[in-house]
Amino acid sequence: MSKQIIKQAAINQFHRYGYEGVKMAQVATEAGMRKQSIYYHYPTKRDLFTELYDEVIEEEIKFIQAYFKDQPDVTSKELLYRFLKEIKRRTSENTTVDFLHLMSYSPPMEIDTFVASRYLTNFNVFKNEVRKVFEKEAFTSGAEECTLGYVTLFDGLIVHLFYNTGQSYEHSLDASFEIFWKGISCTE
């Protein structure tokens, strides 16, 4: 129980102040415990961060796999469009998901190799799930090229979330997805 309280406090702190800006004393204060109690579970800030990041990556992988598995009656276009809408919703409503994106796109220098390798695992799962969608139908380009285009669109929209409003994201999503889909679709 106390580890979960520590982890939630740490996510909040890393989200607010970034890796470099967080002190274990701040995490302890937010968790409502003494700093020594945190050091019992996590000897260093790095240990705390790496365990947290690993767990968040695993949660995100489960989400991605479940999302693409649990919607068999949805068109490819709708499935991919809804995914981008869902990412926006989850990022704005869930500090853990926002933490994942912030730390993945701007990793702490001290542990950037660790973050990059773990994020790459998540990214490869995401790409494989998207590729499966493009393998089910005929498009103007091959599944690999369509996947690359979609992943690039996703990356751009994630960055857009960091710097713009939700309404701006919706507008950018609608415009860019429609252009993307028209470019790869054989029927539109």
Q: Are residues 57 and 38 in the same domain?
A: no
* pLDDT over threshold 60, residue 136: yes
* pLDDT over threshold 80, residue 157: yes
Q: Are residues 77 and 125 in the same domain?
A: yes
Given the structure tokens 């967080």, which residue do they identify? 22
Examine residue 89 and state whether it is found in any structural domain, yes or no: yes
pLDDT at 72: 78
pLDDT at 65: 96
* Domain containing residue 7: CATH number: 1.10.10.60
pLDDT at 186: 83
Per-residue pLDDT reduced to its tens digit, 7-58: 999 999 998 999 999 999 999 999 999 999 999 999 999 999 999 999 999 9
Q: Are residues 36 and 103 in the same domain?
A: no
| Interval 157-168 mean pLDDT | 83
Q: Are residues 80 and 123 in the same domain?
A: yes
Percent of the chain with pLDDT over 70: 98
* pLDDT over threshold 60, residue 188: no
Structurally, the chain folds into a number of domains equal to: 2
Q: Are residues 27 and 110 in the same domain?
A: no
Q: Are residues 31 and 123 in the same domain?
A: no
Examine residue 48 and state whether it is found in any structural domain, yes or no: no
Q: Are residues 84 and 165 in the same domain?
A: yes
pLDDT at 46: 95
pLDDT at 22: 94
* pLDDT over threshold 60, residue 172: yes
Examine residue 160 and state whether it is found in any structural domain, yes or no: yes
Q: Name, in order, each residue with C-beta under 8 angstroms of 109's C-beta and a sequence gap of 6 or more.
A: none
Q: Are residues 4 and 67 in the same domain?
A: no
pLDDT at 13: 94
Please state the three-class secondary structure of the chain as a single string.
CHHHHHHHHHHHHHHHHHHHHCCHHHHHHHHCCCHHHHHHHCCCHHHHHHHHHHHHHHHHHHHHHHHHHCCCCCCHHHHHHHHHHHHHHHHHHCHHHHHHHHHHHCCCHHHHHHHHHHHHHHHHHHHHHHHHHHHCCCECCCHHHHHHHHHHHHHHHHHHHHHCCHHHHHHHHHHHHHHHHHHHECCC
Q: Are residues 14 and 74 in the same domain?
A: no
pLDDT at 160: 87
Per-residue pLDDT reduced to its tens digit, 115-134: 999 999 999 999 999 999 99
The token pair that represents 112 in the structure block:
């950037």
Q: Are residues 118 and 83 in the same domain?
A: yes
Provide the domain limits for residue 172.
53-184
pLDDT at 38: 92
* pLDDT over threshold 80, residue 70: no
Q: Are residues 22 and 68 in the same domain?
A: no
Q: Are residues 74 and 140 in the same domain?
A: yes
